Structure 1
Amino acid sequence: MSVSVRIPTILRTYTGGDSEVTAEGSNLAEVLDDLDAKFAGIKGRILDEDGKLRRFVNVYVGNDDVRFQDELATPTPDGTEISVIPAVAGGC
């Protein structure tokens, strides 16, 4: 299933500067595998050494945060938009 993946500025060096790319997969894990096959190394910036989402990276499938869904098993229906968003820290 083909999905659209929005890439944050910090990871665009992997995608040749593209802010949006397409990938294939029926769930988030498969989409990330496909992304890494096309853009070597990008998956390692999204997942940690244990294969889990990095603490400071948020991933949305449609409007849903995958941490409140099925994480990497979250389904990615054809035409879905996936957003990878680095967490912003700061404060007073």
Structure 2
Amino acid sequence: MSTVSVRIPTILRTYTGGESEVKAAGATLRDVIADLDANHPGIAARILDDAGKVRRFVNVYVGDEDVRFADGLDTATPEGVQVSVIPAVAGG
């Protein structure tokens, strides 16, 4: 199991006590989100929908890779990688 750094968007920092970056552990993104939620209850529900998939208006990157174009929640999270949770911005 690896430890990764998770970048938290401003809108979700109420779950992390205002922290913009937290540590989480897991071999896959699914594990990392579960660990994140264990340490910051409620945050997974803001990232995942009721079906357990990444919400439509949330982008998640492992390193520079958008998980939607990788293996989704099964994307590997190697030691030290940065996971970024980025809410999609509407408008234009």
Q: Same fold (TM over 0.5)?
A: yes
Q: Distance in 2 between matches of 1:32 and 1:53?
A: 10
- Name the TM-score, length of structure 2 as normaliser: 0.98
Q: Distance in 1 between matches of 2:84 and 2:37?
A: 16
List gaps (5 residues or longer) in structure 2. Answer: none
Q: 1:79 matched to which residue of 2?
A: 80
Q: 2:35 matched to which residue of 1?
A: 34
The 5-angstrom pairing of residues 1-92 of structure 1 reads 1-91=2-92
Q: Distance in 1 between matches of 2:77 and 2:20?
A: 19
- Name the TM-score, length of structure 1 as normaliser: 0.98
Higher helix share: 2
Question: What is the RMSD computed on CA atoms of the aligned residues?
Answer: 0.3
**By how many angstroms is 1:30 displaced?**
0.1
Residue identity over aligned pairs, in percent, reads 68
What SS is found at the alignment partner of 2:41?
coil
Give the length in aligned residue pairs. Answer: 91
**By how many angstroms is 1:46 displaced?**
0.1
**Counterpart amino acid of 1:36?**
D
Q: Distance in 1 between matches of 2:79 and 2:39?
A: 19
Runs of 4+ in 1 over 6 A off after TM superposition: none
What SS is found at the alignment partner of 2:56?
coil
**Counterpart amino acid of 2:87?**
P
